[in-house]
Structure 1
Amino acid sequence: MTGPLSGVRVLDLTRLAPGPYGSMLLADLGAEVIVVGGGRSGLPVPALSRGKEFITLDLKTGGGRDALHRLAAESDVLVEGFRPGVADRLGAGYAELNAINPRLVYCSLTGYGQTGPLAQRSGHDINYLAVGGALGTFGPPGGPPVPPLNLVADFAGGGLLAAFGVVSALYERERSGVGQYVDVAMVDGVLSMMGMNFADWGIPTLPRRGEGVLTGTMPAYRCYSCADGRYVAVGALEYAFFENLWRSLDLAGDVPDHLDPANFGTIEKALTDAFRLRPMAEWAEHFKDIDACVTPVLEPDELGDFPQIAARYENFRLSTVPTVPVYSRTPAEAGPTETADATERVLSRFGLSSDDAAKVAGPRDGAAVTGLCWPPLL
């Protein structure tokens, strides 16, 4: 691997989405990622598994814990997503592993964090959005809040924040020579990302849920239906962009003040009527050279044919999203996706024989899976 994290070894004890996404980002950047599974947790999510090796250790046995300790002694990072206290009971807690390897960066990724009355509670993205103050701002004014898939808490406030925390701790380790504990809570990530919006809450910019500048209800910042039932997205917040939008649609009269609520009704009707005259593809062609912040609303299976995506990512496929960001000297690289058990192969690199690997892995077939497997619906 040639990425900026080449030479970094990561042990990943997480499941489902946030942790695996964070460790995939690290793998894309060149880190060696070893996923340690076992027990009855859900199976790996293939879309988040590229560039990783998967092993099974029975951490309820002394041999399994000893094997994990051997791996931790020669690793740079460990990421776990258990409820607080569980990793300690499995011999995988920070204090125990820090004593073995003081340079280890240990990241706990949970919904509510290691402290507080909800620390031991289970939850998912929608719950973390709810108590983090974000979900209460999403969705139409007259209906229930609507989560934007699980992008905000799981992936941004969880996996991305964990990867950022890990990389920052690795950078600090270059100066101090020692690792540290990183407590990543998805609720904390949501709180952090909502900073600008919290400051706007209760004023005309964001007076209440579903209303305001960025909620999709202001005429200059929303989606409009086209003649074929598809949509275009309009983000003409600045006057120059709105002026280009208004004039490019050949709308009558002077360009109105698009930020004055008194004009919202007139502007919305004018734009609604205009965009209904042509299908989405024609509007995309119309605006391709007009600086008005107007784009087609694409569905996932259309991305590979969209010029911007195709120009940056040749042979784009939904099955393999791009490696990000783009580096000039140490490019990121998407490794192969192979979720088959590699316990024997991996442990051999740490000096364990095939017989040793079999003893510490525990049962790998036939164990009842009680965790959520993805996708849950086919």
Structure 2
Amino acid sequence: MAGPLQGIRVIELAGIGPGPFAGMMLSDHGAEVIRVDRPGARIDARDPLLRGRRVIGVDLKSPQGQALVLDLVKGADALFEGFRPGVTERLGLGPAQCHAVNPALVYGRMTGWGQFGPYAQAAGHDINYIALAGALHGYGRAGDKPTPPINMVGDFGGGGMMLAFGMVSALLHAKTTGQGQVIDCAMTDGAAALMAMIWGFRANGIWKDERGVNLLDTGAHMYDTYACADGKYISIGSLEPQFYALLLHKTGLVDDPDFAAQMDSGRWPQLKDRLTSLFATKSRDEWCEIMEMTDICFAPVLSMAEAPHHPHNVARQTFVEADGVMQPAPAPRYSATMSDAPRMTKAADTDAILADLGYDAARIDSLKAAGTVR
């Protein structure tokens, strides 16, 4: 088996970050993804974002290169790109040009600000997109400045993952109607969508714009990380009353009246100080012996070096090693269409891809001589 997207062909116009992540997701779940890169571009054989691809180097600024990509489009189900708005149109590879040769094509566009709006032509990065979306403001502790959560929320959650979802949705529509369409995937939109629950909390008056004082943003004593005696950390998420009661039982605080009013936010700072002192009395492993695999809602905070070796992750094969590179395994899992093991992309497949298009040896040699492909 090769995943539920087996038989789907996707053209990826090479970019960075969220685009390759969308390509990885589609490839992980069975799609054939052909990455169109610059001629002679270096392929990073250790990058999980590029796994599972076939790669061809094409000069997109040349008429021959543009014609070659349109030949690829004719036999594809989808294409996605991550350029600024208008770039692919100027290359002769915009939605109109692609739909002229393949009306059923799903055309994905990955940008930070979107295809229109005052910021559309401006440069930016994850930190900027989640800032404008109202997400970055909420990350950080009380009294401190906003802290970007690496680039998980903009590039990958609100960007690449949203694009992959949008493309699969549009592919389903195209399969039933024969009609392709364009997906305008903006990281600002995606990051805002990821905040839907918090917007609901705010509407119900249970979330403040002030950072680090709310139930889920390190404001509460029963939902935070704590340092242990060995300098390692644990995470506590004892929100529900029964889970909180077990936390107090396991920490010896069940009869302490200070901890009885769980949701009295005015007492949270004081209770957090108490827990900080308590958790610092034992090592992380000692707290794991007391709390792990209970209904406290507990887990040790593992480093990237540690996570692949935790028994739970080992049992589920959450991480895999491919060509000597430790990396996350494809997710989610299916009962009937198991995805293949990841395959690292090491070299371009230019000749094979062109041969699949019906190009003969003389034509391939001519394209190489002209610098159109490499």
CA contact (8 A) 2:11 2:35 kept: yes
Q: CA deviation at 1:75?
A: 0.3
- Residue identity in the other structure for 2:354: L
Which residue number corresponds to residue 277 of structure 2?
A: 273
CA deviation map 1:249-307 (0-9, x unaligned): 11242551211123324422332222111100111121124210111111011112211
Report matched runs for 1:316-331 at 5 Å.
316-317=320-321, 319-331=326-338
Aligned mate of 2:222, from 220, 223, 234: 220
Whole-Å separation in 2 of the counterparts to 1:359 and 1:285: 67
- Residue identity in the other structure for 1:190: A
Q: CA deviation at 1:234?
A: 0.6
Aligned mate of 1:253, from 250, 256, 259: 256
Whole-Å separation in 1 of the counterparts to 2:318 and 2:42: 33
RMSD: 2.1
Q: Which runs of 4+ in 1 moved over 2 A?
A: 39-45, 140-144, 198-207, 252-255, 314-320, 353-365
- Residue identity in the other structure for 1:18: P
Aligned mate of 1:208, from 195, 210, 213: 210
Whole-Å separation in 1 of the counterparts to 2:201 and 2:367: 54
5+ long unaligned stretches in structure 1: 366-378
> Secondary structure of 2:331's partner?
coil
Please give the TM-score of this superposition, normalised by the length of structure 2: 0.92
> Secondary structure of 1:345's partner?
helix
CA contact (8 A) 1:11 1:35 kept: yes
Whole-Å separation in 1 of the counterparts to 2:43 and 2:355: 23
Please give the TM-score of this superposition, normalised by the length of structure 1: 0.91
Which residue number corresponds to residue 28 of structure 2?
A: 28
- Residue identity in the other structure for 2:6: S
Whole-Å separation in 1 of the counterparts to 2:112 and 2:42: 17
Which residue number corresponds to residue 238 of structure 2?
A: 236
Structure 2 CA distance for partners of 1:358 and 1:19, relative to 1, 3 Å: farther
Whole-Å separation in 1 of the counterparts to 2:133 and 2:40: 30
Structure 2 CA distance for partners of 1:165 and 1:223, relative to 1, 3 Å: same
CA contact (8 A) 1:46 1:339 kept: no
Identical aligned pairs, as a percentage? 38
CA contact (8 A) 2:138 2:209 kept: no
5+ long unaligned stretches in structure 2: none
Report matched runs for 1:279-318 at 5 Å.
279-313=283-317, 316-317=320-321
Does 54-63 or 206-215 show the bigger shift? Answer: 206-215
CA deviation map 1:321-364 (0-9, x unaligned): 11111100001223411231221121111111344335446277
Structure 2 CA distance for partners of 1:39 and 1:191, relative to 1, 3 Å: farther
> Secondary structure of 1:152's partner?
helix
Structure 2 CA distance for partners of 1:149 and 1:214, relative to 1, 3 Å: same
Structure 2 CA distance for partners of 1:314 and 1:147, relative to 1, 3 Å: closer
Structure 2 CA distance for partners of 1:95 and 1:278, relative to 1, 3 Å: same
CA contact (8 A) 2:58 2:372 kept: no
Which residue number corresponds to residue 55 of structure 2?
A: 54
* Count, aligned residues: 365
Which residue number corresponds to residue 343 of structure 1?
A: 350
